[in-house]
Chains A and B, each alone.
Chain A
Amino acid sequence: MSVAYKAGVAVGIFVAITIFVLLMKIVNKDRKLKTEYDEKQLAVRGIGYKYGFFTIIFYDLAIVVISAMGIKIPMIPEMVLFTGVMLGAIVMASYDIWHDAYMGLNTNAKGFAVFAVIVAGINLLSALFNWKDLAIYEEGVLQFPFMNLVCCFAFVLIGIQLFAKSIKDKKEIEEEED
Protein backbone atom coordinates (compact mmCIF):
# COMPACT_ATOMS: atom_id res chain seq x y z
CA MET A 1 0.00 0.00 0.00
CA SER A 2 1.59 3.27 -1.12
CA VAL A 3 1.98 6.36 1.08
CA ALA A 4 -0.27 8.32 -1.31
CA TYR A 5 -3.02 5.71 -0.91
CA LYS A 6 -2.73 5.82 2.90
CA ALA A 7 -2.81 9.63 2.85
CA GLY A 8 -5.87 9.51 0.59
CA VAL A 9 -7.68 7.18 3.01
CA ALA A 10 -6.77 9.44 5.97
CA VAL A 11 -7.99 12.59 4.16
CA GLY A 12 -11.15 10.75 3.10
CA ILE A 13 -11.92 9.74 6.69
CA PHE A 14 -11.27 13.30 7.92
CA VAL A 15 -13.56 14.82 5.26
CA ALA A 16 -16.29 12.23 6.02
CA ILE A 17 -16.14 13.01 9.76
CA THR A 18 -16.25 16.78 9.08
CA ILE A 19 -19.29 16.43 6.80
CA PHE A 20 -20.97 14.15 9.36
CA VAL A 21 -20.42 16.70 12.18
CA LEU A 22 -21.77 19.56 10.03
CA LEU A 23 -24.82 17.54 9.01
CA MET A 24 -25.51 16.54 12.62
CA LYS A 25 -25.53 20.21 13.59
CA ILE A 26 -28.10 20.86 10.85
CA VAL A 27 -30.20 17.87 11.95
CA ASN A 28 -30.46 19.05 15.56
CA LYS A 29 -32.76 22.03 16.20
CA ASP A 30 -30.42 23.55 18.80
CA ARG A 31 -27.37 23.10 16.54
CA LYS A 32 -25.80 20.83 19.16
CA LEU A 33 -23.85 17.77 18.14
CA LYS A 34 -25.43 15.66 20.85
CA THR A 35 -28.97 14.41 20.39
CA GLU A 36 -31.13 14.65 23.54
CA TYR A 37 -33.49 11.84 24.59
CA ASP A 38 -35.99 11.58 27.42
CA GLU A 39 -35.95 8.82 30.06
CA LYS A 40 -38.27 6.46 28.15
CA GLN A 41 -36.34 6.91 24.93
CA LEU A 42 -33.05 6.16 26.71
CA ALA A 43 -34.52 2.95 28.15
CA VAL A 44 -35.87 1.91 24.75
CA ARG A 45 -32.57 2.71 23.04
CA GLY A 46 -30.83 0.44 25.56
CA ILE A 47 -33.03 -2.44 24.39
CA GLY A 48 -32.41 -1.42 20.78
CA TYR A 49 -28.65 -1.59 21.34
CA LYS A 50 -29.11 -5.05 22.89
CA TYR A 51 -30.97 -6.38 19.83
CA GLY A 52 -28.37 -4.78 17.54
CA PHE A 53 -25.59 -6.42 19.55
CA PHE A 54 -27.23 -9.86 19.41
CA THR A 55 -27.80 -9.46 15.67
CA ILE A 56 -24.06 -8.95 15.15
CA ILE A 57 -23.27 -11.91 17.44
CA PHE A 58 -25.62 -14.25 15.52
CA TYR A 59 -24.35 -12.92 12.19
CA ASP A 60 -20.73 -13.53 13.20
CA LEU A 61 -21.58 -17.03 14.45
CA ALA A 62 -23.34 -17.77 11.15
CA ILE A 63 -20.27 -16.58 9.23
CA VAL A 64 -18.02 -18.80 11.40
CA VAL A 65 -20.26 -21.83 10.81
CA ILE A 66 -20.51 -21.18 7.05
CA SER A 67 -16.74 -20.77 6.80
CA ALA A 68 -16.16 -23.92 8.87
CA MET A 69 -18.38 -25.84 6.44
CA GLY A 70 -16.01 -24.82 3.67
CA ILE A 71 -18.53 -22.60 1.89
CA LYS A 72 -16.88 -19.56 0.35
CA ILE A 73 -18.62 -16.30 1.17
CA PRO A 74 -18.79 -14.17 -2.02
CA MET A 75 -17.52 -11.02 -0.28
CA ILE A 76 -14.11 -9.66 0.60
CA PRO A 77 -13.41 -9.95 4.39
CA GLU A 78 -13.90 -6.20 4.99
CA MET A 79 -17.36 -6.39 3.44
CA VAL A 80 -18.30 -9.42 5.56
CA LEU A 81 -17.46 -7.42 8.71
CA PHE A 82 -19.12 -4.23 7.48
CA THR A 83 -22.34 -6.00 6.49
CA GLY A 84 -22.62 -7.41 10.02
CA VAL A 85 -22.17 -3.97 11.56
CA MET A 86 -24.79 -2.48 9.23
CA LEU A 87 -27.22 -5.31 10.00
CA GLY A 88 -26.85 -4.59 13.73
CA ALA A 89 -27.35 -0.87 13.10
CA ILE A 90 -30.48 -1.50 11.00
CA VAL A 91 -31.99 -3.75 13.68
CA MET A 92 -31.25 -1.17 16.39
CA ALA A 93 -32.64 1.70 14.31
CA SER A 94 -35.78 -0.23 13.37
CA TYR A 95 -36.51 -1.11 17.00
CA ASP A 96 -35.95 2.50 18.06
CA ILE A 97 -38.14 3.88 15.27
CA TRP A 98 -41.16 1.69 16.11
CA HIS A 99 -40.74 2.39 19.84
CA ASP A 100 -40.49 6.20 19.46
CA ALA A 101 -36.83 6.46 20.42
CA TYR A 102 -35.04 7.13 17.14
CA MET A 103 -35.75 10.83 16.83
CA GLY A 104 -34.39 12.80 19.78
CA LEU A 105 -36.12 15.69 21.53
CA ASN A 106 -33.96 18.18 19.64
CA THR A 107 -34.04 16.39 16.28
CA ASN A 108 -35.39 18.31 13.32
CA ALA A 109 -37.36 15.67 11.39
CA LYS A 110 -37.12 17.54 8.09
CA GLY A 111 -33.40 18.12 8.64
CA PHE A 112 -32.93 14.41 9.29
CA ALA A 113 -34.86 13.55 6.11
CA VAL A 114 -32.49 15.80 4.13
CA PHE A 115 -29.50 14.20 5.90
CA ALA A 116 -30.75 10.67 5.07
CA VAL A 117 -31.41 11.56 1.42
CA ILE A 118 -27.92 13.13 1.08
CA VAL A 119 -26.16 10.12 2.64
CA ALA A 120 -28.23 7.60 0.64
CA GLY A 121 -27.70 9.63 -2.55
CA ILE A 122 -23.93 9.96 -2.13
CA ASN A 123 -23.64 6.22 -1.49
CA LEU A 124 -25.89 5.32 -4.42
CA LEU A 125 -23.95 7.56 -6.81
CA SER A 126 -20.66 6.15 -5.58
CA ALA A 127 -21.97 2.60 -6.06
CA LEU A 128 -23.25 3.39 -9.57
CA PHE A 129 -19.92 4.92 -10.62
CA ASN A 130 -18.11 1.86 -9.34
CA TRP A 131 -20.63 -0.41 -11.04
CA LYS A 132 -19.80 1.30 -14.33
CA ASP A 133 -16.18 0.31 -13.84
CA LEU A 134 -17.18 -3.24 -12.75
CA ALA A 135 -15.38 -2.65 -9.44
CA ILE A 136 -18.19 -3.87 -7.18
CA TYR A 137 -18.18 -7.50 -8.28
CA GLU A 138 -14.95 -9.12 -9.39
CA GLU A 139 -14.01 -12.78 -9.75
CA GLY A 140 -17.22 -13.90 -8.08
CA VAL A 141 -16.59 -11.78 -4.97
CA LEU A 142 -18.32 -8.56 -3.89
CA GLN A 143 -15.69 -5.84 -3.52
CA PHE A 144 -15.40 -2.96 -1.04
CA PRO A 145 -17.56 -0.47 -3.05
CA PHE A 146 -20.52 -2.78 -2.33
CA MET A 147 -20.39 -1.05 1.07
CA ASN A 148 -21.95 2.01 -0.61
CA LEU A 149 -24.96 -0.03 -1.70
CA VAL A 150 -25.35 -1.49 1.81
CA CYS A 151 -25.20 2.06 3.29
CA CYS A 152 -27.72 3.34 0.76
CA PHE A 153 -30.05 0.40 1.47
CA ALA A 154 -29.79 1.04 5.23
CA PHE A 155 -30.70 4.72 4.94
CA VAL A 156 -33.55 4.02 2.49
CA LEU A 157 -34.91 1.36 4.86
CA ILE A 158 -34.66 3.74 7.84
CA GLY A 159 -36.32 6.50 5.78
CA ILE A 160 -39.24 4.27 4.75
CA GLN A 161 -39.79 3.16 8.34
CA LEU A 162 -39.67 6.74 9.64
CA PHE A 163 -42.22 7.78 7.00
CA ALA A 164 -44.54 4.89 7.91
CA LYS A 165 -44.16 5.68 11.62
CA SER A 166 -44.95 9.37 11.05
CA ILE A 167 -48.21 8.37 9.31
CA LYS A 168 -49.05 6.07 12.25
CA ASP A 169 -48.27 8.90 14.70
CA LYS A 170 -50.46 11.36 12.81
CA LYS A 171 -53.39 8.94 13.01
CA GLU A 172 -52.74 8.50 16.74
CA ILE A 173 -52.77 12.30 17.27
CA GLU A 174 -56.03 12.62 15.32
CA GLU A 175 -57.63 9.89 17.44
CA GLU A 176 -56.35 11.64 20.55
CA GLU A 177 -57.91 14.95 19.49
CA ASP A 178 -61.31 13.32 18.72
Chain B
Amino acid sequence: MKNLKLKAARAGKDLSQDDLAKAAGVSRQTISAIEKGDYNPTINLCINICKILGKTLDELFWPEE
Protein backbone atom coordinates (compact mmCIF):
# COMPACT_ATOMS: atom_id res chain seq x y z
CA MET B 1 0.00 0.00 0.00
CA LYS B 2 1.44 3.36 -1.08
CA ASN B 3 2.34 5.80 1.66
CA LEU B 4 0.92 8.99 0.14
CA LYS B 5 0.95 10.73 3.54
CA LEU B 6 4.72 10.47 3.71
CA LYS B 7 5.08 11.72 0.15
CA ALA B 8 2.77 14.67 0.87
CA ALA B 9 4.60 15.54 4.11
CA ARG B 10 7.95 15.42 2.31
CA ALA B 11 6.66 17.60 -0.51
CA GLY B 12 5.16 19.94 2.10
CA LYS B 13 8.63 20.50 3.50
CA ASP B 14 9.95 20.99 -0.05
CA LEU B 15 12.30 18.05 0.30
CA SER B 16 13.30 15.66 -2.46
CA GLN B 17 13.61 11.94 -1.75
CA ASP B 18 17.37 12.41 -1.78
CA ASP B 19 17.19 15.26 0.77
CA LEU B 20 15.03 13.20 3.13
CA ALA B 21 17.24 10.14 2.63
CA LYS B 22 20.39 12.07 3.52
CA ALA B 23 18.74 13.56 6.60
CA ALA B 24 17.52 10.13 7.72
CA GLY B 25 20.82 8.38 6.94
CA VAL B 26 19.37 5.98 4.38
CA SER B 27 19.54 5.63 0.61
CA ARG B 28 17.15 7.51 -1.73
CA GLN B 29 15.89 4.15 -2.95
CA THR B 30 14.85 3.21 0.58
CA ILE B 31 12.70 6.35 0.89
CA SER B 32 11.27 5.63 -2.56
CA ALA B 33 10.45 2.04 -1.51
CA ILE B 34 8.70 3.25 1.67
CA GLU B 35 6.59 5.73 -0.31
CA LYS B 36 5.68 3.05 -2.85
CA GLY B 37 4.74 0.64 -0.07
CA ASP B 38 7.44 -1.82 -1.15
CA TYR B 39 9.28 -1.72 2.18
CA ASN B 40 8.12 -1.62 5.79
CA PRO B 41 10.67 0.46 7.73
CA THR B 42 11.69 -0.35 11.30
CA ILE B 43 10.17 1.72 14.08
CA ASN B 44 13.50 3.53 14.55
CA LEU B 45 13.52 4.71 10.94
CA CYS B 46 9.82 5.68 11.16
CA ILE B 47 10.56 7.83 14.23
CA ASN B 48 13.58 9.38 12.53
CA ILE B 49 11.52 10.31 9.45
CA CYS B 50 8.72 11.70 11.64
CA LYS B 51 11.19 13.91 13.52
CA ILE B 52 12.66 15.25 10.26
CA LEU B 53 9.23 16.02 8.80
CA GLY B 54 7.76 17.30 12.08
CA LYS B 55 4.94 14.75 12.10
CA THR B 56 3.78 12.02 14.45
CA LEU B 57 3.88 8.29 13.75
CA ASP B 58 0.06 8.30 13.51
CA GLU B 59 0.11 11.07 10.94
CA LEU B 60 2.58 9.34 8.65
CA PHE B 61 2.40 5.62 9.25
CA TRP B 62 -0.97 4.68 10.72
CA PRO B 63 -3.16 3.18 7.98
CA GLU B 64 -6.46 4.96 7.34
CA GLU B 65 -9.61 3.04 8.27
A residues near B (Cβ < 8 Å) are: 38-41, 100, 103, 105, 169, 172-173, 176-177
Contact A105 B41 (CB under 8 A): no
CA distance A176 to B19 in the complex (A): 13
> What are the residues of chain A within 8 A of B17 when measuring CB–CB?
173, 176
- Asked if B25 is an interface residue, CB under 8 A from chain A, the answer is yes
* A-side interface mostly: helix
B29: contacting residue among A39, A100, A177, CB under 8 A? A100
The reply on B16 being an interface residue by CB < 8 A is yes
Cross-chain contact B32 with A105 (CB below 8 angstroms): no
User: Which A residues lie within 8 Å of B42 (CB)?
Assistant: 39
A39-B42, A40-B39 known; A176 vs B32 contact (CB < 8 Å)? yes
Which residues of the other chain, B, contact A39 by a CB distance below 8 angstroms? 26, 30, 41-42, 45
Residues of chain B within 8 A (CB-CB) of A172 are 32
B10 CB to closest chain A CB, in angstroms? 10
Determine how close the nearest CB of chain B comes to the CB of A100; give it in whole angstroms.
Answer: 4
CB pair B30–A38 under 8 Å, yes or no, is yes
- Segment 18-58 of B: residues with Cβ below 8 Å from A: 18, 25-30, 32-33, 39, 41-42, 45
A41 touches B30 (CB 8 A): yes
The answer to whether A169 and B45 have CB atoms under 8 Å apart is no
Q: Which residue on B lies nearest to A104, using beta carbons?
A: B27
18 pairs from A and B in contact (CB 8 Å cutoff): A38-B27, A39-B26, A39-B30, A39-B41, A39-B42, A39-B45, A40-B30, A40-B33, A41-B27, A41-B30, A100-B27, A103-B27, A105-B25, A105-B27, A169-B29, A172-B32, A173-B18, A176-B32
Chain B residues near A169 (CB, 8 Å)?
Answer: 29
| B52 CB to nearest chain A CB (Å) | 14
Residue of B nearest to A172 (CB): B32
A145 to B39 CA separation, bound complex (whole angstroms)? 43
Q: Given A176-B17, A177-B16, answer yes or no on A40-B26 (Cβ-Cβ < 8 Å).
A: yes
